[in-house]
Structure 1
Amino acid sequence: MIASSPPVLIGIARIGDLLIVLIAGWLAYVLRHDTLTMPVAYVAAIGVALALTANAFQVAGLYRFGVVETVGGQLGRIIGGWTAVSLLLLAIGFFSKTSADYSRIWVGIWLGLGFVAIVVFRLGMARRIESWKQSGVMQRNAVVVGAGAQAERLLRYVAEQKSELGVEIVAVFTVRPNAGRRDVLGTPVRGDLNDLLLFLRGNQVQEVMVALPWDDEEQIAEVLTRLREAPVDVTLAPEPLGYRLMERRVRHLGGLPMTVVQEPPLSGWNYVVKGLEDRILSALIIAAISPLLALIALAVRLDSPGPAIFRQQRYGFNNNVFTVFKFRTMRTDMGDARGGAQATRGDPRITRLGAFLRRTSLDELPQLFNVLRGEMSLVGPRPHAVAHNEEYAQLIDQYLGRHKVKPGITGWAQIHGLRGETDTPEKMERRVQYDLYYIDNWSLWLDIRILIRTIFVGFVHKNAY
């Protein structure tokens, strides 16, 4: 049955998403203009949206079966993916100067209708899959070849993950007859390879799991040869180390499967999406707040002698040094180029206007130009002064792991209140832990959550002084 094939269900999800985008765009045009015929420009816009949706949803993880089958695991990803599609469409229209060619009402109806329809479709799929799982329709019967430690480890893992995997191991078989075991962790031993072939003919079995030591190449080769004619999936259970690397991606090196143990946290499409997010949003924000930036710069110049912009060396991606931009908040005759002396409450170096800018985080706004230049991200670990970096790298384990991604204007640590002075190693260690969590769990949706929370809790804080 189609319900027993996760790859088919993933394919249905892909096709369904794209059909919804297509139909929603056409239906929005009909509702707006009361005609069934669409101009070429509108058709082209829908075509671009289809390509963006396919890629954004892939990056958001919406085409993994473990996500498709759960209700709670999809909503946040759908919001993040569809927001990315919407922002990219608006940015393309803005920068290509074609936005005036389209009805704003049509765009609003299309994006709103598309989002609602995708949510309803995906949640409906998840509930249908859940009902199939509960009724046993999606259950895959499997047998295990091997009765040693490898088989015990596999049976224990399948039993622990049974509700998620939908796999039922119905029997165990040995390579040689008279193996001396009647069961493995309660699962009966039904015989040897000859008995296995007979069992496959008379029972509904979809998979044979070979659980033998990998260094026993002769036995594994014999099992695979005997099963070549059986119409079932045949898989090879991992060695003990494999259970610690379950979530790792497999890459092929000239046809040789290689387990990826470590890779940059932002690579491939994730790197592209993060880059587009930074460049597009920073450009739009700068355009929107340019009068405010000019007003603050003028106020800084009038408030105290010195330049409006303060420049300081910071460590960025891969420990490369870059120049960070901020509105100047301190007196020029009491500055600290390396940033070794942190600002404290009531610091005499801070100007009258500077105190307000620091308290409201408005002094950080010029870093939008660092983002536009590709030196920073909107969201990421905050860049620390050179002196602090060198000091804490010696004190805190994995401190330099913060530089595996670009530093950000705001971050996971900042929205959790970890801002301002870090006068003890313990405070810095807590900040580093939040930064490393962000790096290990990055997603577009996480960035959007951080940006939204920054608006409400990230600008003004009691530790910002």
Structure 2
Amino acid sequence: MCAFAVGDMKGVPPEKNGSGPEKKPLSPTLAEIASNGAPGKAYSPIVLAGLVRLVELLTLLGAGLFIHEIYVAANWGRSLDYYLVMPTMALSAIVALQSLGLYSTAAFRAPMRNGLKIAAAWSLVFVAALIVLFFFKLDDSFSRVWLLSWYVTGLALLAAERLALSLIVRMLTRQGKLDRRTVIVGGGELADPVLRDLAAQNDGDLQILGLFDDRTDKRSPDVVAGFPKLGTIDDLVEFARHTRIDLVIFALPISAEGRLLQMLRKLWVLPIDIRLAAHTNKLRFRPRSYSYIGNVPVIDVFDKPIADWDVVVKYVFDKIVGTICLLLLSPVMALVALAVKLDSPGPVLFKQVRHGFNNENIEVYKFRSMYVDKLDHSATKQVTRGDPRVTRVGRIIRKTSLDELPQLFNVVFKSNLSLVGPRPHAVVSRAADHLYDEVVDGYFARHRVKPGLTGWAQINGWRGETDTPEKIQKRVECDLYYIENWSIFLDVYILALTPFALIKAENAY
């Protein structure tokens, strides 16, 4: 059922990237960039624009309803016509503002410069409404005082909202929360025009950190268009583990297929957008084949698996459903905690370091299933059938996965786990005496999304002991299938099947 073979990479076979379980030290230059003001999580401009649309829609609609209630309804009662016209005009205003390009981050920063456009959009809606009312002879059906009051109030509220928004956006910009932290792969003559065009975009949110190139000869100088060469592709992979990188742009010709694929084999395991700059290539595609970063045409190679509104949807789903699960399962968790405490001396909960999103180390909670003096915090030795380290209660809760229930705290309170995703493996997990990343090429690609309590691999029977390379291979195949095909409906499907998968589990000890 795991119809994604490890190594497919959409046609590009993966390659070991040298990024083992532990972070490697960066060069002094990269370490300085990673530590000096490197922001954490960024905010999506797409989500920001969507929220602004919603706020402005509700603001305009609320203003119309408020004036209607205190003037029209108080004097003449309520009419269905008003309740049909108000949302129509409010929606039309949002469409007009969108058509004038007023829902970009650059527009949010400059409300004064775009003030006339905002006024024109709102005015255009009222002019169109008045024309419709006149030609359909409906002008006597609506209060002129209400229309004028709504127009003036709506315009004032839009102006005030945009001024407040500009302050918020400028603050987020100073904090680096809206920047797309970008690096260029490649150097020399091909990278020069790409960098100059990107740097010339004054209203853009690109923060270009520098270049990475495996070449060390004169074809790849140390500085291109004022931007420094920071290292090799291996350095870039490790750099992305230490700091946030949002976008990688390849400044290479399509004809350099071998070199391009070699680099992609190393970079595809990262949760970043990867683009190929197209304006340096002689081969021309149809216009719809390109996307644009400002005015620079690019070809999309890889996208973040879950981005923009998908992140919001998954986050809200995790919080709401996770909280419900925590409340419903709290009696079960209390009974398990009591059983663990009565069965053997020691703490009820056990924390273990595991791989999280983008290979970060996270601590996950579990009910203690081993004797205290035999606890294995690093999971250097997998639990096997009849393992003497496991307590009597531990055997039951491990078999039924009840020991994993405290990870709901990770989901609801710490947000370093999701309800559904690739299961977080211990940092030194092994299959047949080999680290997982030594057994499976492209293993770290499963860390492009947040790990989960359950996943596609678990409902397909690939849980428990991984004593052979084939077992971890199949598990990773399932994880990559999930990442490439994620939807909120897939999460619901996996959650619904998880209890049945636990009942028929055979290799969990």
- TM-score class normalised by the smaller sequence: 0.3 to 0.5
The structure richer in helix per residue is: 1
Give me the TM-score of the superposition, normalised by structure 2: 0.44
Q: RCO higher in 1 or 2 (8 Å CA, sep ≥ 6)?
A: 2
